[in-house]
Structure 1
Amino acid sequence: MWGCGGRRRRRVLFGLLLLATGLAAMLRFNWSTLVPRLLWGRVMGLQAENSQFLLEGMPFRILGGSIHYFRVPRLHWKDRLLKMRACGLNTLTTYVPWNLHEATRGKFDFTGNLDLKAFITIASQVGLWVILRPGPYICSEWDLGGLPSWLLQDPEMQLRTTYKGFTEAVDAYFDQLMKQVVPLQYKRGGPIIAVQVENEYGSYFQDSNYMPYIKMALLNRGIVELLMTSDNKDGLPVGIVEGALATINFQKLEKGIGIHLDVVQHKKPMLVMEYWTGWFDSWGGPHFVYDADDMVNTIEQILKLGASINLYMFHGGTNFGFMNGAVHFDHYKPVVTSYDYDALLTEAGDYTSKYFKLRQLLSKMLEQPLPLPPLIYNKASYGVIQMQQYFSLWEVMSLLLQPIKSELPVNMENLQVNNGNGQAYGYVLYETLIPGDGQLNSGGHVRDRAQVFINTWFIGYLDYTQEDLWIPPGQGYRLLRLLVENCGRVNYGPRLNDQRKGLIGDIFINKTALRNFKIYSLPMDLNFMQRIRWSSYWNAMPDSSVGPAFFRGTLRVEKKPQDTFLKTVGWEKGAVFVNGQNLGRYWNVGPQSTLYLPETLLHQGDNEIIIFEEHTAGRIIESTDLPFLGKTKYVD
Structure 2
Amino acid sequence: MTLKKALMLSFILLWHISLNAQKITHSFALSDSSFMLDGKPFLMISGEIHYPRVPREAWRARMKMAKAMGLNTIGTYVFWNLHEPQKGKFDFSGNNNVAEFVKIAKEEGLWVILRPSPYVCAEWEFGGYPYWLQNEKGLIVRSKEEKYLKEYETYIKEIGKQLAPLQVNHGGNILMVQIENEYGSYGNDKEYLAINQRLFKEAGFDGLLYTCDPTDAIADGHLPGLLPAINGIDNPVKVKKLISENHGGKGPFYIAEWYPAWFDWWGTAHHTVPAENYTARLDGALSAGISINMYMFHGGTTRGFMNGANYDDKHPYEPQISSYDYDAPLDEAGNATNKFMLFRQVIAKHLPAGQTLPPVPAAKPTIAIDNIQLNESAGILDILPKPVLNKTPLTFEDLKQDYGFVLYRTTIKGGKTGVIKLNELRDYAVIMINGKNVGLLDRRHKQDSIKLTLPAGRVKLDILVENSGRVNFGPYLLKNKKGITESVKFNGAEVYNWAMYSLPFKHVNNIVYGNKKATHIPVVRKGEFNLSKVADTYLNMESWGKGVVWVNGHNLGRYWSVGPQQTLYLPAEWLKKGKNDIVVFEMLKGEMSRLNGSATPILNKLQ
TM-score (norm 1): 0.88
Distance 1:53 1:251 in 2: 19
* Partner SS for 1:156: coil
The Cα offsets for residues 126-182 of structure 1, whole Å up to 9 and x where unpaired, read as 111111001211111000011100111124221111212211111111121101111
Identical-pair percentage: 39
* Partner SS for 1:355: helix
Distance 1:327 1:590 in 2: 17
1:623 counterpart (572, 583, 597)? 597
- Residue 398 (structure 2) pairs with residue 414 (structure 1): yes
Match of 2:10 in 1: none
Contact 2:28 2:169 in 1 (8 A): no
Match of 1:604 in 2: 577
Distance 1:455 1:41 in 2: 68
**Aligned residue type for 2:116:** P
Unpaired runs of 5+ in structure 2? 1-18
Match of 2:356 in 1: 369
Contact 1:88 1:370 in 2 (8 A): yes
- Residue 322 (structure 2) pairs with residue 337 (structure 1): yes
Contact 1:391 1:551 in 2 (8 A): yes
2:423 counterpart (423, 444, 447)? 444
* Partner SS for 1:134: strand
Matches within 5 A, 1:84-103: 84-103=66-85
- Residue 285 (structure 2) pairs with residue 302 (structure 1): yes
Match of 1:283 in 2: 266
**Aligned residue type for 1:604:** K
Contact 1:157 1:166 in 2 (8 A): yes
After superposition, the Cα gap between the structure-2 partners of 1:181 and 1:449, relative to the gap in structure 1 and judged at 3 Å, is same
Q: Which moved more, 1:75-84 or 1:258-267?
A: 258-267
- Residue 352 (structure 2) pairs with residue 378 (structure 1): no
Matches within 5 A, 1:8-407: 39-40=23-24, 42=26, 45-205=27-187, 207-250=189-232, 253=235, 256-265=238-247, 266-329=249-312, 330-366=315-351, 367=353, 368-397=355-384, 401-407=385-391
2:489 counterpart (508, 521, 542)? 508
Q: CA deviation at 1:207?
A: 4.0
2:535 counterpart (537, 541, 562)? 562
- Residue 434 (structure 2) pairs with residue 434 (structure 1): no
Q: Which moved more, 1:352-361 or 1:470-479?
A: 470-479
The Cα offsets for residues 498-554 of structure 1, whole Å up to 9 and x where unpaired, read as 11000111111122221110000010112xx1221xx2x4327x4x84430011121
Contact 2:329 2:340 in 1 (8 A): yes
Distance 1:602 1:629 in 2: 22
The Cα offsets for residues 18-46 of structure 1, whole Å up to 9 and x where unpaired, read as xxxxxxxxxxxxxxxxx99995254xx32
Contact 1:574 1:585 in 2 (8 A): yes
* Partner SS for 1:78: helix
Distance 1:61 1:277 in 2: 19
Match of 1:15 in 2: none
The Cα offsets for residues 41-74 of structure 1, whole Å up to 9 and x where unpaired, read as 54xx322221111123211111100011110001
After superposition, the Cα gap between the structure-2 partners of 1:162 and 1:413, relative to the gap in structure 1 and judged at 3 Å, is same
Contact 1:438 1:509 in 2 (8 A): no
**Aligned residue type for 2:596:** E
- Residue 514 (structure 2) pairs with residue 538 (structure 1): yes
**Aligned residue type for 1:372:** P
Q: CA deviation at 1:614?
A: 0.5
**Aligned residue type for 1:180:** Q
Q: CA deviation at 1:254?
A: 8.4
After superposition, the Cα gap between the structure-2 partners of 1:470 and 1:39, relative to the gap in structure 1 and judged at 3 Å, is closer
Contact 2:25 2:172 in 1 (8 A): no
- Residue 461 (structure 2) pairs with residue 483 (structure 1): no
Contact 1:562 1:598 in 2 (8 A): yes
Q: Which moved more, 1:242-251 or 1:274-283?
A: 242-251
Distance 1:246 1:226 in 2: 12
Distance 2:236 2:293 in 1: 17
The Cα offsets for residues 575-616 of structure 1, whole Å up to 9 and x where unpaired, read as 111122211110010001100011222222111111111011
TM-score (norm 2): 0.92
CA RMSD of aligned residues (A): 1.9
Contact 1:202 1:235 in 2 (8 A): yes
Contact 2:230 2:239 in 1 (8 A): no
The Cα offsets for residues 333-362 of structure 1, whole Å up to 9 and x where unpaired, read as 100000000001110001101111111112
